[in-house]
Amino acid sequence: MDEDEPVTTWVYVNETKRAGYVLAAVTVTDPIATRKAVRSLIVPGRRRVHMNHEHVRHRRIIVSTLTAMPLAVTLYDAARNYPTDLQARAACLTALVRDLAATDGDTHLVLEQDDSLLHTDRLRLFQLARATGQRDTLHYEHQRAHAEPLLALPDVAAWCWVRSGEWRRRIQPGHRRRPLGLTTPTSAKPERRHHQGGVSGSLPAASALGTLSVRQPTATRDTFRAPRG
């Protein structure tokens, strides 16, 4: 999709498995300007920003730069509550797409490409888009991290979160944590004010990572699964 087209929401998705399964989704209001800023953080000789491969000093520069940007972050924390990573990913994607159903206008979702998950992801997103009434408004694609610099954003957010301590504090100036049981269906809505388990209104203007939200997706009966074979 052309970034000049009137897309309301651009969301970039990546995950970490360091401390259970955590899926990070970062909403970007200006992909072109933000991509330019992220490219400026790539160390000469490398193809991308990747927190695992950065020097500590450069990690601090990366986090400081990104937290000064107008980004909204939601972390879907499945912890170790699911038997497999595939089930944890299914729960996280289901919660994410349900959250996006509450946004106004079109949404373009970009996920880091893992060839082993392409078929399953596409089928699940196809089904979820229709089940949540987003058949014509939810667009999605997979890209390699070195081809789409903005995939560094969820990588940084997830990396900082699971390492706790100094790194988590750097990205959480007022995050909201909503513990949920595995057997309790939920419809978690990111970056909105909650009332009686529901949401209202549009995405607010993001300010740094002050809109950081943490969700614990639940396993529900309507979690989508790819057919065997």
DSSP letter for each residue of 1-66: --TTS--SEEEEEEEE-BTBEEEEEEEES-HHHHHHHHHTTSPTT-SS--GGGS-HHHHHHHHHHH
Tens-place pLDDT, residues 31-81: 999 999 999 999 999 999 999 999 999 999 999 998 888 888 999 988 888
**Choice between 136 and 189, residue whose per-residue pLDDT is larger:** 136
pLDDT at 183 (0 to 100) = 27
Higher pLDDT, 202 or 12: 12
Q: What are the structural domain ranges in the chain?
A: 9-215
User: Largest alpha-carbon pair distance within the chain?
Assistant: 51
**In this model, does residue 197 exceed pLDDT 50?**
no
- Would you call 172 helix, strand, or coil by DSSP? coil
- Tell me the CB-side half-sphere exposure of residue 205, using CA atoms within 13 A: 0
For residues 120 and 1, the answer to whether their CB atoms sit within 8 Å is no
Q: Does domain 9-215 have CATH number 3.30.420?
A: yes
